[in-house]
Structure 1
C-alpha cells in the first residue's frame, strides 16, 4: 500500500496478542463500588476522575511496573469509556518508554456488571490501545519515531470468553483502528503531498486488490460530459485538476443502493474570497469528510459486510488564480438549478451538489453526505459533537451508532423559513446566506435542493470534530478520524437488521 494509507508495521504484526504474561508493565482497571476488586497499593487522597492513571514503578526485575487506570462506576461503563481509558494508558506507557504491557485479569462477573458484553469490552479496549499509540511522524527526521507498547491479554483474563472469541474481538478492534487511522493519515497529510491527483491515486491503489470493489475516476472532459459544473468551477484556480472519484462495493446487489458522499477539498484557501491568518495549515484538513468515507469503506470491506454501497468523493483544491471562479459567477447544474456564487469560500456545498446529483444518476435510494462544511456548526455544538440534518429515522439510527462508538451527533433542524436567506437576484439560489446567522442550517438547506425526491438523505457537518486541536491524554494533536467508525457501524447495524 502507498505511504499514508497503511498502518505501521507494528500494528500489522500483532501488536495486541492473546498470549502468556509479559513482565514490562501491568495495567489494572480500578472501579468504584466494587469490593471484590480492592487494590492493595496506596492511592492518593482525593477523588479520582474517570481516565486518570497512576504508575507504581517496579522495585526489582522480578516484579512489573503497575499502571492503575480509574474506570469509574462499572455499572455505567460504556465502550467509549473503555476505549478512552485504553488510549490514555497506551499513550502514557509509550511516553514512559515501556515496550510491552499486560492487561490484568478482569472480574468473572463481567457479563452481569458491565453494561456491554465482555467481547465488546475487549474490542473497545484493544481499539483504544491501538488508537492511543497513534502518531503522525512521517516527516520528522530529527527525533526517532516513538515505539509502540505491545499489549498482551492473557487467555484467562476473561473467564467467560473462549480464546477464539477473544481473538475475534481483537481482530475486530484492529479492523476498526485501521479504518480510523487510514482516515487520520489522509487528513494529516500536508497539501503538497496530498493534492487531488495523489489523493485519487492512493485510494485507488488502496482498494485495488479488495474483492468486490470497483473504482471509477471522472476528470477532465468526463466532468464536462456529466455536467459536474460545481466541481469544475471550484477547481478552476488550481494547477491540479478536480476529480470525482466513485468507489463501488456491492456484495448484495438486491439491496437498495446507499451512497456515502464525502467532501474532498485537499486545501481550502477560500478561492478568491481568500482566507487570512498567521497559520492556515488546517486548511489541508478540509477533506475530512472524504477521509471518513474512505475509512468507513475500509472497515466495511474488511468485515465483508453484505451491502450495496457507493462512495462518491468530489476532490479539488480551492485556491485563487487568474482562472479561479469569481464571486458573482453563476453555476448551472443538470437539475436545472442555477447558483450564484456569493462567496467562493462556500465551495464545499458546490461540489457536494455534484455528488448528490450523481448519486441520483446511479440510482441511489439512500444517501449520507459528510463534510467539514461550516465553522458555524462548531460555534453551535463545540468540538466534541457533529450536527446532523435530514431524514429523522436515518438520523436516529446514525445518532445511536455515534453514541455507541463515541463519534457523537446532534440532530439539527431544517428550517424552511430560512430558505429566504439563500435568495439571489440573479440565480435560483445563492451559495451563501445573506445573514451571518444559522450558517450550518442554511448550508444544509442548500444541499437539500440537490436531493432527489425519492432519496432518503442525511447531512453531517463534522467541521468541529475533524481534529484534536491539541494533544490530549488519549489522542495526539491532529486528525481525529471522526466519521469512519460512525458510518461503518451504521452500515453494519442496518445490514444486521436486514439479515433478521
Structure 2
C-alpha cells in the first residue's frame, strides 16, 4: 500500500521554508527566434517564486538557464541553493507555455499544467528528502496537492527493499485554504487507493479477497455494504457473473456499496467491471502481455474508491456502487462459445467469444443498479482493445445518453483525465443479433468494437435512465514510462472524473 505524504500549509516566505527541497515553477521565456543575436538561451520565466528570486539577487532565472532550464512542460532542473535560501536544494519544474497560448485542442489547462508539473517534481525528488516545500500551490492549490500526492505514489508491497522516506509537503497558502487542501487530498488518496487495488497481483486479489478489501474500505468511511456470494448470485439469477466466473476455482462476488446523504435530491448509480484476471477463457488470449490483465478490475477499483470518497467528503448526493467481481479462466467447468446465458432480469445472451466477458458481468450489474431508480448511471470498465485502437492509450472513450455522456465528458476534461465523447450508431445493433438468443455478446467483424460494446451495454439500461459508459482499456494501466503524475502500472483513472461528476450533480442536480 502506498503511503501518501503528510500535507500542510504555510503562508511564510518560501525562501525561508525549513525544507530539504523547495519546488518552484518555470515557463518558457521568449521563443527561440526572439532570443538575442548571440544565440544565448533565454532565461525561463519564474512562476510563484518572487521572494525566492529576490533571495538569489534577482538572478535565479539566469542561473536556472545556465543549468539548462527552459520552462518546458515537466522539465526538471535541480540547483544547489548555496545558502541563498534555507532549503539546500531548489527544484525548478516546467509548466510549459501559458494555457491560452498553447491554444490547440487537447492542450492542458492551467490546473492540469500545475498537476503534471507537481507530479514530475515529486517523481524527481531525492530519495533522502523528507521535507518538501512547493510554491506551485500559489498558482492552483488543489492541482498542486493532487499532482504531488499522485506523483509520490509508489507501490512497494512486494519489494524486499524498505519503502521510501515518509514525507511532509508544505504548500504555500494560509489557514483559510485548509478545506481546499483537505478535499484535494481526499481525491488524490482515493486515486492512490484504486491504484493499490489495481497493482495487487491476481493471486492475492481474487473475487472473494477483492470483495473483502472493498468492504473494509467501505466500512471505514461508513458506507452501507452488501455482498452476494456464488450461492446468492445463483439464487437471484445473475447468469452473466456466474457464467464468466464458472471456469475459476475462485468463485465470483457482487458487492454493493451505498452512500446516503439526508440533503440529497439526486441518486447516482456507479458500476465498475471487476475481472480480477482475464485469460480470455476458452477464447484464450495470446501469451504476450497477458500479465497486463491483472488490471482488468480497474473499473471496479475506481468505483469502490469513488464511493468511499463520496462518504469521506460527505457529498450531498446519494451514491450506489454495484461491483461485479469474477475471474475469467479456462477449465473443464468454464463457459463456452456457443453457450446461452440468462442474465439478471431475464435477457438471454449467446456467447460467441468468452473473451468478451466484461460486458456480461456488467449487464447483470447494470440491471441491478437500475432497479434502485437512479437519476443517473455511470459505468466504467477496461472493456475493449478497440478503445486503444480508436483513441490511444491515454484517452478514454465515453458513450451513452447524449446529454449525460457529454456532461461526463466535460467533467473528464475539467479534471485533466480527459476522454472523448463517442457515438452509438444504431445500425451496429443489428450486428449483435443472435441466431438463438435475445442478443450475442460480439459481432462477426472487428469494426467499431468499442461502439458495439457500448451498444451491448445499452440493452441492459432501464428505459429513461441517463447513462454513460467510460471505456478505460488503455488509460487504466500505464505500460510505458511514468509521466507527469502518472506512474507505471495502475493509474486510478477515472476516479477524479467520477468524483467531479458526483460533485457536479450535488451542485446542479
- What TM-score, normalized to structure 1? 0.88
**Maintained 8 Å contact 1:296/1:483:** no
Q: SS state of the match for residue 250, structure 2?
A: coil
- The match for 2:79 is 56
Partners of 2:389 and 2:368 in 1: CA distance: 31
**Maintained 8 Å contact 2:317/2:505:** no
Partners of 2:493 and 2:19 in 1: CA distance: 35
Partners of 1:74 and 1:148 in 2: CA distance: 34
* 1:240 aligned onto 2:250: yes
**Maintained 8 Å contact 1:91/1:132:** yes
State how many pairs are aligned: 468
- The match for 2:35 is none
Alignment CA distance shift 1:63-1:431 (3 Å): closer
- What TM-score, normalized to structure 2? 0.87
Q: Output one character per residue of 1:166-225: Cα deviation in whole Å (capped at 9) or x when no partner.
A: 3222212210111000110000000011100001111111121423x2111112232123
- The match for 1:205 is 216
Question: Alignment partner for residue 171 of structure 2, among 148, 153, 159?
Answer: 153
- The match for 1:194 is 205
Name stretches of at least 5 consecutive residues in structure 2 with no aligned partner: 30-44, 51-57, 101-108
Q: SS state of the match for residue 450, structure 1?
A: coil
* 1:43 aligned onto 2:82: no
- The match for 1:160 is none
Partners of 2:336 and 2:504 in 1: CA distance: 44
Partners of 1:105 and 1:219 in 2: CA distance: 48
Partners of 1:368 and 1:408 in 2: CA distance: 16
CA shift, 1:57, in A, is 2.1
Alignment CA distance shift 1:123-1:365 (3 Å): closer
Q: Output one character per residue of 1:285-320: Cα deviation in whole Å (capped at 9) or x when no partner.
A: 100100111121122111101111110000000001
Name stretches of at least 5 consecutive residues in structure 1 with no aligned partner: 111-117, 156-162
- The match for 1:71 is 95
Alignment CA distance shift 1:336-1:172 (3 Å): closer
Question: Alignment partner for residue 101 of structure 1, among 125, 129, 132?
Answer: 132
**Maintained 8 Å contact 1:94/1:146:** no
**Maintained 8 Å contact 1:341/1:430:** yes
- The match for 2:441 is 431
Q: SS state of the match for residue 341, structure 2?
A: strand
Alignment CA distance shift 1:35-1:127 (3 Å): closer
CA shift, 1:148, in A, is 4.6
Partners of 1:154 and 1:464 in 2: CA distance: 35
**Maintained 8 Å contact 2:268/2:502:** no
Partners of 1:292 and 1:217 in 2: CA distance: 18
CA shift, 1:254, in A, is 5.8
- The match for 1:176 is 187
* 1:489 aligned onto 2:500: yes
CA shift, 1:279, in A, is 4.4
**Maintained 8 Å contact 2:268/2:377:** yes
CA shift, 1:63, in A, is 5.8
**Maintained 8 Å contact 1:93/1:149:** no
